A and B are shown apart, each in its own frame.
Chain A
Amino acid sequence: MFSLISSFQMQFMLLFSRQGKLRLQKWYVPLSDKEKKKITRELVQTVLARKPKMCSFLEWRDLKIVYKRYASLYFCCAIEDQDNELITLEIIHRYVELLDKYFGSVCELDIIFNFEKAYFILDEFLLGGEAQETSKKNVLKAIEQADLLQESFDEQLHSVLTTVTDTL
């Protein structure tokens, strides 16, 4: 009955604040910077205009948008027409749980100041728009191992020393 073209491939994921500030963007399909900006602008506007009790799914262009708000942040994913909305909603939730566990009650500021970490965690969880590892333990293990892997004491020291020149 259908012609299937995808297997849950997410097209992109955006995190933005209630004020419409983009906090994280992950694109799983090749698009020009201009197109990305246009999509972001349009979607942020559309999603922010929706009322709290409304349904978490909406049709947008030829895609489906699945979004959910956590505190001051909106998590918003675009999936294809045949994809599963509910499981995408739980992808968002699992990502929030991962951030929460990693940062310890994550807040918007954590994501602003440690944006690179937010990207690393996302890459361990989703790759190319597909779920790579859905076990919370395994994802966090991978991230924490990486954290432990390197930082030697003298680097930490170095970072303190260079603060002075940075702020000038």
Chain B
Amino acid sequence: MPAVSKGDGMRGLAVFISDIRNCKSKEAEIKRINKELANIRSKFKGDKALDGYSKKKYVCKLLFIFLLGHDIDFGHMEAVNLLSSNKYTEKQIGYLFISVLVNSNSELIRLINNAIKNDLSSRNPTFMCLALHCIANVGSREMAEAFASEIPRILVAGDTMDSVKQSAALCLLRLYKTSPDLVLMGEWTSRVVHLLNDQHMGVVTAAISLITCLSQKNPDEFKTCVSLAVSRLSRIVSSASTDLQDYTYYFVPAPWLSCKLLRLLQCYPPPEDGAVKGRLVECLETILNKAQEPPKSKKVQHSNAKNAILFEAISLIIHYDSEPNLLVRACNQLGQFLQHRETNLRYLALESMCTLASSEFSHEAVKTHIETVINALKTERDVSVRQRAADLLYAMCDRSNAKQIVAEMLSYLETADYSIREEMVLKVAILAEKYAVDYSWYVDTILNLIRIAGDYVSEEVWYRVIQIVINRDDVQGYAAKTVFEALQAPACHENMVKVGGYILGEFGNLIAGDPRSSPLVQFNLLHSKFHLCSVPTRALLLSAYIKFINLFPETKATIQEVLRCDSQIRNSDVELQQRAVEYLKLSSIASTDVLATVLEEMPPFPERESSILAKLKKKKGPGAVSVTELEDSKREGGELNGGGDRGPDTAAMAASNASTPSPSADLLGIRSAAPVGAAPASAGSLLVDVFSEAGPIAPSAAVNDDGFLRFVCKNNGVLFENQLLQIGIKSEYRQNLGRMYLFYGNKTSVQFASFTTTVSCPGELQSHILSMHLCTKPVEPLVEGGAQIQQVLNIECLTDFSDAPLLNIKFRYGGALQNLTLKLPVTINKFFQPTEMTSSDFFQRWKQLSQPQQEAQKIFKANHSMDTEVLKAKLLGLGTALLDNVDPNPENYVCAGVIQTKGQQVGCLLRLEPNAQAQMYRLTLRCSKDSVSRRLCELLAEQF
């Protein structure tokens, strides 16, 4: 039984709770509960009307059962009845039950709202508070509809009791969060802001939460709150600890209100009024000074409350980021906390310093604490504190200390908790790349990473090292030598084998001069790992072997023998078997020249953001990587030619397909296994992979498609030009792949800031036609006056499509934000392969495509010159073969081609019949896919 039973003890409830506690098993408990539920149900259904007390007791029992985790499906009506009781405790229990158990779409909401309405107009402050609490607890849209206009009135009315004002303020806040559209402050705004001046501290404490939230949404309307908040803060900060009576908490005056005031100020820039600003700086200095004073109490509550204010003040200082003196003082204060005996303070100091590290004023000051932070990483007993230390090291890293920090993080990794290893690996990989001055250090670091924490090295990390090695010829020899040495270890991680296989396959020749790493030694070393590896790694090794045959003809016999053995050529895994068969065949029938072309060294990867950074951001959420850091990496990312997300194997093979369109390129057949193909197919949508996710296009800019149609029959030219900006395009297409270079030229003499481009696909493309895979590298955020920057888009056509992707460009010119959306001239005809055929073949095919929907026809007026040479140039530009001597009428033009998509090939025949006298054309298209006929017909009708 309880030690005390205050007020309205309900004996029956206490007995029931005791019973439940005495249950020896879960089954017994359920049995007891079911018995009670049956009892309550019969009472509620019984003929005898229950008195208020019994109703209250049973409703309370139901609540208790619900809070134990059981479902309750009755009793709501009885609870609603309690609301209209004029006995306070009955009403109170009714409201409690409703707050906990009624969800917003309940049918009872109308009855509940009625009861609330009565209580709100009762002028009885305790009843009003109960009703307001209930609204704040349920906070449903229906309640907002019913009360959003009433509550502001209660809040600012002169005769409202303080306690009711407090509840009204927070109740309104809750409704504003649920339904901002229904809470209109309008005429009340100024009176609400002036609650900051209220004499009652409790009213200020409650009102400020509301004001802060409203200020975030409507900063201009509420901006008078800044000076009021500063003067209130100033009065609190300078008050003696006894001035505020019960609002002083362990000798700290009004800590909650102080924190809220400092938080409110963080919604605004520093005050413009010099006097207000001076007063605020004084407050902040006083808060920092107080941190140095001896504590007024040894209680932890005293120091917590004091430091809560201090940390909030530091947040404000960081938010302003304009007072170097305060920033450095803040940093020194946090530096002291780094060695504090309270774990909580060490944790918070590490966390807060992370944000200080990204301010230019305090970055250097943060760096002076490097030894303490490294020590924390090594000695803290709580993993969450170590995690903060690792975060801070990452944030304070720059060129000057990168080697030390990376070394420390690597050595920490050996013993790090499993929970944070993956993130640590990503961080080390990013820092190593970002601050690499010599790339041999970078290669060493990543290989160490694989050695120490191979299991946690995600694909992005090892893809990235390969991309960088391929793009930088000064490090290739070193990389080959280092992986060769690393592979000597008797047990090395599979990721090491992958990197080793790839790099030796590309650059093994650079170390082949040394007899200790002769071609055969290299091959034997790699092959000794083969049998221990998983299928994807084996597949990669097979590709390395065929590359060896090209690099070192003397290994051909040995490797062919390996490929020929049953375990390869008859491997049960389709992918491995296919590679073995194809490579064997390729090596035996292709001439050295063909082999050299097919197995040429991989071309450099297009520059783009590190995929590792993207992964870290995804893992940690946007807050994890501070803003400046992101910008840094964008700026510095350019120095390292990074590759795409797709991983070297698939991306490289795709690239080689594109650059060597020889028939044997198909023979490699590796693309079939490439994950790239699989992902979009299942996603069923147009994939656009830009720097960040392709956000929705800013609605302000109408799509400009003037330039679009001019590019149907040509690939290069100026897509767009205005007084500020010129956008040029160069593009090339091979089979179903394309690459588009976009050139952004700043025509002014002023810098463009925050220059971002986003490529996206309009809804329809995404919903049913799966068409392209675009990948781009982000452009630099700053474009100097007169400068031109370049962006590359890789395009893969997966199936046919009609819509065009959109390019959105945003930048700041002077103060104004420019926003522009263009249609990118990627049209289905870009993927044409011309097909030559004889007259009879043509007409035979023509007849085969005779279903009505396969044909699209249009008769239209000539818009341009009907000159033969011009027309021929256009038709050739279309991408098809222009067939002579096919049509019996020599005036007519016929063309044939095959559109190459990833999934299928679409044969297309075209006939254009000019009528010079009428200045008209008749255009007929027949394609094996009807959507293609229609689309081509639409596109071409505008061209002639």
Give A contacts to B, CB under 8 Å: 1-2, 4-5, 7-9, 22, 24-25, 30, 37, 51, 53-59, 62, 81-82, 84-87, 89-91, 93-94, 102-104, 107, 109-110, 112-117, 119-120, 123, 127-128, 130-138, 142, 145-151, 155-156, 158-160, 162-163, 165-167
Contact = CB atoms under 8 A, between A and B. Distances in A.
Nearest to A151: B8
A28 to B, nearest CB: 8
Interface in B1-51: 1-12, 14-17, 21, 51
A21 to B, nearest CB: 9
Count chain A CB atoms within 10 A of each CB in B6, B87, B346 and give the residue with the most: B6
Contacts of A90: 249, 255-256, 301, 304-305, 308
Q: Which 3 A-B pairs have the closest CB atoms?
A: A166-B12, A147-B7, A86-B308
21 contacts: A7-B212, A8-B259, A8-B260, A24-B67, A84-B312, A86-B305, A86-B308, A89-B304, A90-B256, A91-B256, A94-B249, A114-B5, A115-B64, A131-B206, A131-B260, A134-B254, A135-B202, A142-B163, A145-B126, A148-B7, A163-B11
Interface in B51-82: 51, 53-54, 57, 60, 63-64, 67, 69
Interface string B94-129: 001000100010000000000000000000001001
Query: Could you say which interface size class chain B belongs to?
Result: 35 or more
Given A55-B385, A110-B3, A133-B166, A85 B12 contact: no
A142 B161 CA distance: 12
Contacts of A51: 382
A132 B205 contact: yes
A115 B382 CA distance: 34
B904 interface: no
A147 B206 CA distance: 24
B184 to A, nearest CB: 19
B319 A133 contact: no
B344 A89 contact: yes
Given A110-B4, A159-B10, A132 B246 contact: no
B348 interface: yes
A53 B2 contact: no
A91 B304 CA distance: 11
B308 A87 contact: yes
Nearest to B169: A132
A134 B201 CA distance: 9
B580 interface: no
Contact of A130 (B1, B3, B170): B170
B304 A86 contact: yes
B619 to A, nearest CB: 12
Given A116-B60, A134-B256, A54 B167 contact: no
Contact of B266 (A4, A119, A128, A159): A4
A86 B311 contact: yes
B441 interface: no
A31 B623 CA distance: 24
A159 B96 CA distance: 21
Given A8-B259, A110-B4, 8 more contacts: A22-B69, A51-B382, A87-B256, A117-B6, A133-B206, A150-B8, A151-B89, A155-B53
B308 A159 contact: no
Interface string B384-421: 11010000000000000000000000000000000000
Nearest to B170: A127
B321 interface: yes
Interface of B: 1-12, 14-17, 21, 51, 53-54, 57, 60, 63-64, 67, 69, 87-89, 92-93, 96, 100, 104, 126, 129, 132-133, 136-137, 139, 163, 166-167, 170-171, 173-174, 177, 201-202, 205-206, 208-209, 212-213, 216, 245-247, 249, 254-257, 259-260, 263-264, 266-267, 301, 304-305, 307-308, 311-312, 315, 318-319, 321, 343-344, 346-348, 355, 358, 381-382, 384-385, 387, 621, 623, 627
Contact of B126 (A57, A86, A146): A146
B246 A135 contact: yes
Contacts of B53: 155, 158-159, 162
A156 B206 CA distance: 36
Contacts of B254: 134
B15 A113 contact: no
Given A87-B256, A134-B257, A145-B126, A128 B174 contact: yes
A78 to B, nearest CB: 15
Nearest to A135: B246
A113 B348 contact: no
B816 to A, nearest CB: 22
A136 B21 CA distance: 32
B133 A123 contact: yes
A132 B256 contact: no
B330 to A, nearest CB: 14
Contact of B2 (A2, A59, A114, A145): A114
Nearest to A59: B384
Contacts of A37: 69
B246 A54 contact: no
A87 B259 contact: yes
Contacts of A58: 384
B133 A113 contact: no
Nearest to B246: A135
Q: Which of A4, A62, A103, A104 has the most CB of B within 10 A?
A: A4
Nearest to B304: A86
Nearest to A83: B263
Contacts of B212: 7
B54 A162 contact: yes
A25 B67 CA distance: 8
A113 B139 contact: no
A7 B267 CA distance: 10
Nearest to B3: A110
A116 B347 contact: no
B11 A166 contact: yes
The interface centre, meaning the residue of A53, A86, A167 with most chain B CB atoms within 10 A of its CB, is: A86
Given A128-B139, A131-B256, A162-B54, A2 B301 contact: no
A162 B665 CA distance: 90
Contacts of A137: 246
B263 A8 contact: yes
Contacts of B311: 84-86
Nearest to A165: B12
A156 B6 CA distance: 11
Given A4-B266, A4-B267, A114 B385 contact: no
A148 B343 CA distance: 44
Nearest to B628: A1
A7 B3 contact: no
